[in-house]
Structure 1
Amino acid sequence: MSEAPKYDVFQAIADPTRRQLLSLLSRQEMPVKEISGHFPMSRTAVSKHLHVLSSAGLVRERKVGRETRYRLDPEPLQELQYWLNYFEQFWDNKLSMLKYYVENEGNRTAE
Structure 2
Amino acid sequence: MELTLLDYNMVHYRPSEIAAASLALSQLLLVALPWSPQQQHYSTYDATHLKPIMQHIAKNIVMVNEGKTKFKAVKNKYSSSKLMKISLIPHLNSAIVKTMAAALLSNP
TM-score interval (norm. to shorter): 0.3 to 0.5
- State the TM-score, normalized to the length of structure 1: 0.33
- State the TM-score, normalized to the length of structure 2: 0.34
Query: In proportion to residue count, which structure has more strand?
Result: 1
